[in-house]
């Protein structure tokens, strides 16, 4: 199984809503990532978890709150988002192999903030 799944596929939320994005993998990978991708742009790294601990936070606003409850799951909690946060949110996972780990990406959640 080389699949990373993400739910939901699409999400529309208001600026006062609270929602969560979910990501799951069963490849035994111990590194998991959240990326944000705007249209016609490359993915931008947001967070990295290694062995369920947050190892990289790329100065992401606190309205985005990641959580890694176990080695297979990664959540991104959203609260009080702005319209400019509308984007494709990609989850990825890899082995923890010092930069050599191929990242496996999920299909993404397309988020629209109204």
Q: Does residue 40 bind other proteins (CB under 8 A)?
A: yes
50 is a site residue for other proteins (CB under 8 A): yes
Encode burial over 92-113: b for 16+ CB neighbours within 10 A, e otherwise: bbbeeeeeeeebbebebbebeb
Interface with other proteins, residue 57, by CB under 8 A: no
Question: What is the total residue count of the chain?
Answer: 114
Judged by beta carbon, residue 7 or residue 55, the one nearer other proteins is 55
Residue 9 or 16: which CB sits closer to other proteins?
9
- The residue range among 12-20, 63-71, 76-84, 93-101 that interacts with other proteins, by the rule CB under 8 A, is 93-101
Half-sphere exposure of 3 (CA within 13 A, CB side): 4
Q: What are phi and psi of 57, to 5 degrees?
A: -125, 115
Residues that bind other proteins (CB under 8 A): 4, 31, 33, 40-43, 45, 48, 50, 55-56, 90, 92, 94, 96-108
């Amino acid at each position: 199984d080389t699949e990373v799944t993400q739910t939901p596929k699409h999400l529309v939320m208001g600026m006062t809503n609270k929602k969560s994005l979910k990501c799951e993998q069963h490849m035994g990978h111990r590194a998991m990532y959240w990326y944000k991708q705007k249209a016609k742009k490359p993915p931008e790294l947001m967070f990295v978890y290694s062995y369920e601990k947050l190892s990289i936070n790329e100065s992401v606003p606190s309205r985005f709150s990641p959580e890694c409850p176990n080695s297979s799951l990664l959540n991104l909690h959203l609260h009080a988002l702005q319209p400019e946060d509308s984007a494709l949110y990609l989850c990825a996972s890899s082995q923890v192999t010092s930069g050599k780990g191929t990242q496996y990406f999920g299909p993404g959640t397309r988020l629209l903030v109204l």
